[in-house]
Amino acid sequence: MLKHALTYHHDSALLFERIAQQPWAMLLDSGQMLNPATGKAGSQYGHYDILVAEPFITLVTQGNVTTITQNGVVETSEEDPFLLLKNILAQYQAPKSELPFAGGTFPFTGGALGYFAYDLARRIEKLPSNALPAVEMPEMMIGIYDWALVVDHREKTTHLVSHALLENTREKLDALQALFSAAPRASSLSTPFVVTSEVTSNMDKPCYERAFNQVKKYIDAGDCYQVNLAQRFSAQVEGDSWQAYKKLREISPAPFMAYMNLPLTDNENFTENFQVLSNSPERFIQVSGDHVETRPIKGTRPRFSDPAQDLKSANELEISPKDKAENVMIVDLLRNDLGKTCAIGSVKVKQLFQLQSFANVHHLVSIIVGKLKPSATAVDVLRSCFPGGSITGAPKLRAMQIIDELEPHRRGLYCGVIGYIGFDGNMDTNIAIRTVVNCKKVLSFYAGGGIVADSEVSKEYDETLDKAASITTITKFFTRL
């Protein structure tokens, strides 16, 4: 493996701006940058930032067809997208490294990076088609990258790394080293980002209440125990999404943030870019060596500027029987999902109900771990657990059927997965909550919550607004009506 040490900088956004306009540019952002306004670091849970661009293979799944592009050659397949990705990664294997990433090893040194939208689940499960498509974006977009820039905010190091799989890799790394070594400079991206309409929802409160009541009827009838019900917000926008993302990471840093600038091709082969801005606090699946871990979030309370009120809100969450019961349901679901690819007896609940506090909400987080079967890969784990139980409900399939019945629009990327799967077999992914898509000048995002037997409609509705608060704050900041 090749590695080049570069000068550390506290804000990876200044580095990413140098490649942001390159094809398939992506930033996996730990939210650890220093906030110049406060002098404090961002998310306390973050660690690494990973920057990539210009993949040498791309996989784009839309409907039943995956388009694979390599060296200008385009092929299509109706094979399972997860299997296609698994087979490609098998061609470029590298030695495994394990946590902690120290002594010259890194979380990602090349491999797959991108997103798996929630609606990719239709390739795994048979689901109805009641909800309307909301955004014309592919169900999966994955790039295979031969290099990455890895920023370690705890060790304060920056490295350009690669397995040198391509003939021109060394020349490419020399050029990238020069690009990233230049003194940090202000962004040259000049198109102002502007929100040009009101933010509207696909569910007003009466509509949400009707859907909520139907969920309660299903629970009372024994169809399910929990259903995650979400509403979709949208607004018209103009300009450069990167400006909105920078503001989002400033006011609401989270450990599993991401920014992606990706191509969208319409039926007439006209290509324009769309952007993904993820502010997710939730890890989905991490694989390191044979160690597998998931950290579902269930249980939410709002943050307050008054310390006493904020502490009261956190304490109420920690002792809430309803939120703990909701959390346990999802923990049990994920234990079952991990058991499909982990060794018998290895799946354990490491921690229940850990309180984690973010910019606008408190959450209850649990940790489940397992040991990967020798015959299984990270892609196998991802597929067996997809989509995450924390954002569907229990039992998963019935909850997903109810979601499609009651939510007016399909979720698209929301509640899907963003992350990497390395050539070394390691993986880290988020649940794509608190995630914005800017596609064809429409900004859209969702917020939802789990409904159980003792849920109260007013509290559940308000919880969706609390979760959307950081993004709605951004839209207000950039609104020009």
Q: How far apart are CA 116 and CA 138, in angstroms?
A: 9
- pLDDT for 272 equals 85
Q: Provide the β-strand partners of residue 457.
A: none
Distances (CA, A) of 121 to 61, 117, 320, 330: 12, 8, 32, 18
Cα 76 from chain centroid?
A: 26
CATH number, domain containing residue 55? 3.60.120.10
Judged by average pLDDT, the poorest of 47-51, 74-78, 354-358 is: 354-358
The conformation of residue 464, written as its DSSP 8-state character, comes to: H
- pLDDT for 96 equals 63
CA angle 130, 215, 417 (to 5 degrees): 65
40 pLDDT band (50/70/90 cuts)? low
Domain containing 203 equals 2-477
Question: For residue 210, how many C-alpha atoms fall within 13 Å in the half-sphere facing its CB?
Answer: 8
Residue 38, pLDDT above cutoff 60: no
Q: How far apart are CA 101 and CA 79, in angstroms?
A: 35
Residue 45, pLDDT above cutoff 50: yes
103 pLDDT band (50/70/90 cuts)? very low
How confident is the model over 452-474, as a mean pLDDT? 92
Judged by average pLDDT, the poorest of 26-35, 47-56, 212-221, 399-408 is: 26-35
- pLDDT for 102 equals 43
Residue pLDDT, tens place only, 57-93: 999 999 999 999 998 899 999 999 999 999 999 999 7
CB contact at 8 A, 286 and 381: no
- pLDDT for 334 equals 93
Residue 411, pLDDT above cutoff 60: yes
Going by C-alpha positions, the residue among 259, 255, 256 that lies closest to residue 241 is 259
Residues with catalytic function: 282, 298
Residue 369, pLDDT above cutoff 90: yes
CB contact at 8 A, 436 and 443: yes
How confident is the model over 165-184, as a mean pLDDT? 85
Q: Compute the mean pLDDT over every residue in the chain, rounded to the nearest whole number.
A: 89
Share of the chain above pLDDT 90, in %: 66
Residue pLDDT, tens place only, 217-236: 999 999 999 999 999 999 99
Residue 212, pLDDT above cutoff 50: yes
Prediction pTM value: 0.92
How confident is the model over 171-180, as a mean pLDDT? 89
What's the number of domains the chain is made of?
1
